[in-house]
Amino acid sequence: MRLVQAGAGARRDLVLVYHLNATADEDVRAAIGPGACIVNETVPQAQIGAYGSFGPDGIATVTDALAWAQGEAGAFDRARLILIGFSAGYIAVRTQLFSGEDPDAIVIADGIQTPRPGDPAAVAPWTAYANQARLGARVFVASHTTQGPTNLMSTGETLRLITGFALLQTGTLASPAITSEGKLVVLSFMGNDHRAQGYVVLPRMLETAMRLLDEGQGALAAVASKAWPMVGVVVLALAAVGGVMLARRGR
C-alpha cells in the first residue's frame, strides 16, 4: 500500500484507490481535496488476481487499510469511505462490496465486467448499490468504452445489466454522453482509449462524485459543465417519474 495523502483533522474520509500508478496521484488529490486520507493499493498487472481476495496474497480489508493509514498518517476517525478502481481495479472494489462493505461512494473507470451471457445474480450487489445511488443514498459513478466482445460482457454491456440504463449514446473524451438518475451516473465513451479512462477521465469522475457527496443531487449539471469544459456536454437525465429521457446541452 502507498500513502497518497495523509489528510487532516480528527475525522477524515478514507479513500482506497486500486490500479492507478503514481503518475495519477496529483490529479487524484486535486479531485478529492486536501482533507481526506488517500491510500493506493495497486499490484503489478501480472498479479491482478490478488484484487479478488483478502490477506497476504490479496488486498487489505477496509479495517486493515484504515489501521495502516492511521499508522502512516496519524490517528484519525474514519468519516466517509470512498472506493476507486480503474480497469482491473474494479475487482478490488467488487471484493470489498461483495464482502459486505457499504461505501459512501464508488467510482469505477472502464472496469466492471461479468461472464457472458450475463447473470443478474452475479452482479446483484452492484445492482443493489446502484439502486441506493439512484435513490440518492449513495454515490456511484462509472464509465465505459465501446470495447469489442470477449468471453466477458463488455464494460458497457455490464453497466446496462447493472443499472438498467440503455446506454445507447456514446461521446468523446471532450464530450461524453452522461446518463444519470439520482446519484447514479454513467459516462459513455466511443472507442477504446482505455488508458485515458484511468488517467484523463477518472479524475473528472472523482470531481463529480465528490460534488455529489458534498452538494447532493442538484450538483450533477454544474459538475458536467465544470468537469468537461472543452465543449458542451450531452447530459441524459433519466427522469424519476415515468422513465422519460431528457436531453440538454451543458455550457
Decide if 10 is inside a domain: yes
SS (H, E, C) 109-133: ECCCCCECCCCHHHHHHHHHHHHHH
Residue 90 within a domain: no
Last residue of a domain, one of 45, 75, 103: 103
- 241 belongs to a structural domain: yes
Cell 488486498 belongs to residue: 59
Is the domain of 184 the same as that of 145?
A: yes
pTM exceeds 0.85, yes or no: yes
**Whether residue 142 is found in the same domain as residue 235:** yes
221-249 pLDDT, tens per residue?
555 545 553 323 334 444 332 332 222 22
Q: Is the pLDDT of residue 37 over 90?
A: yes
| Cis amide linkage into residue 176, ω under 30° from 0 | no
Say if residue 143's pLDDT is above 70. yes
Give pLDDT tens digits for 46-62.
999 999 999 999 999 99
pLDDT category, 215, cuts 50, 70, 90? confident
Q: Is residue 70 situated within a structural domain?
A: yes
Overall number of domains in the chain: 2
Q: pLDDT higher for 149 or 163?
A: 163
- Residue 88 included in any domain: no
217 and 133 in a common domain = yes
Do 212 and 110 fall within a single domain? yes
Domain of residue 155 covers: 105-251
Q: Are both 134 and 67 inside the same structural domain?
A: no
Terminal C-alpha separation, the chain: 40
Assess if residue 201 is contained within a domain.
yes
Same domain, 170 and 225: yes
For residue 60, the 8-state DSSP code is: P
Among 47, 21, 44, which Cα is nearest to 198's? 21
